[in-house]
Structure 1
Amino acid sequence: MNLPEQVTIYEVGARDGLQNEKTAIPVEVKAEFIGRLADAGLTAIEATSFVHPKWVPQLADADELMAELERRPGVNYPVLVPNERGMGRALAAGVGEIAIFASATEAFARKNLNRSMDEQYAMFEPVVSRALAEGMRVRVYLSMAFGDPWEGDVPIPQAVAAGKRLLEMGCYQLSLGDTIGVGTAGHVQELIAAFGDPSALAVHFHDTYGQALANTLAALQAGVTTVDASAGGLGGCPYAKSATGNLATEDLVWMLDGLGIRHGVSLDSLVETSTWMAGHLGRPSPSRVVTARSNS
């Protein structure tokens, strides 16, 4: 099936997963959540975002969380940074990696960043330059890489041009975001092939149409070896109402185990962690594997 021997799971539950939750989660619960994810074997755990609290109230405690977090050896705790002010906060928090969040479409750039597509690059360039000068690694999300609720299907050349421009700034990895979950396996493989070399690519799927796992398999077959996922399937996007939950980390691990692909994560620990977090959120986990394991 032309599959990789090993896959890196980039865990986004603590940031992308919780950012849209209406229930206020105490900072100590978030810190324990991240600690449990590390104990389960995850080595890349996006911890929070240094965005203005007005826009994402759930993450208003980012500075406090990073101060309280017990950072484990061998585990990376990147943070999302929207602008130069956020970059300053990231430096003060002593993080080793940041992520920036760009758009493949004009409409979403204006909705999410209040910038045109060209203006978003100008906004990110000093952030990336400063991070690299400080010895940080920079990852970039390309949202709406497959479809946009205002513009419809996103042409592949448009997504590729945006992604390559971001990589040329010095970002080490580009995560292709199916923000509203409209991608299909064929589209995934076409888009990845259009980049030529998949080594700097990751994928970030939402399960709106039930295609997240199929799309992940297609991406693995196309040469991608980093997959974003959210423990318990938590998440959405505060600026795109049609964006439902992320690919559940447990569902991804179940599939990878079935394919014999190494990933280093304990499924039992993940299920236990997501069940614990669901209790704090007051509702069951949307992950199919968590549901199945909880009822077995």
Structure 2
Amino acid sequence: MFLIPFLILVMALTDIAGCHFAGLDFTGFARPFLICLVSAPIAIFYSFLRPSKIIVEAILYVQAWILFSLLGSIQTYLACTAGGPTIDKTLITLDRLAGFDWPACFSFVRSHSILYNFLALFYGTLLVQIVINILIFSFYGDQKRNRRMLLSAIAAIFISSFIVIVFPSLGPFYAFGYYSKGVPGSEYVYTFLALRDSVAPHTFSLDHMEGLYSFPSYHIVLAIIFTYYNRGLRSFYPFAAVNCIMAISTIPVGGHYLMDVLSGALVACVAIPLANKFA
């Protein structure tokens, strides 16, 4: 019952210590704090004055996901400051051994604007999926699914961060020279390079956080987690379809190697059993 608050506290303390030693500073706490502050009295009202477990659970898990998302994002930035040699050449070699040509895939998708926009639409559904999942599980009164889904995401971010520290990757946008301010999705490379630079401090806004992890793909992690926890419900097939498309989009839109996708799936396969065991 207290595992989620405990892990969030651990993340907060780790982030505070990490930012101090890495010379990172973050702004933009006002908006998420305001959302939590405004929603708290609503949760109290529906807890005591007009009891509704559905509304209370939904609010509490929305707040928990907000806290996790903020702290997890900071953790990803900290992990990228570790430096060390990148493994991009190895990932490119493994992709080629698997018969996958990232530049060809990227060029094909980007040359077909309708296809690119279609994939980009699904790539950006993470936030919407989180909210819909919380509402579905709350409506069914299935607190266990809500708890396990969040625990899986927390476990996965710890595992992914460890991998990024030990095996950093800048991704195919950087490796193949496709990154620039004019290439959507590649802007994160500049942030990643700045974080690897020993010159500090760096200041970032929580209102404009970027996904920095290439290997493993956290998009794939969440795609599998969201689909898995909808099994047995009517929502399973819609989520499976959406996340299959999102998984495909991670390669040309999110700038991921094929190995990033496979490693993200492996992380999810480790995080889910861990959450199910301790939830």
Instruction: State TM-score, norm by structure 1.
Output: 0.24
Instruction: Pick the structure with more helix per residue.
Output: 2
Give 1 or 2: higher strand fraction. 1
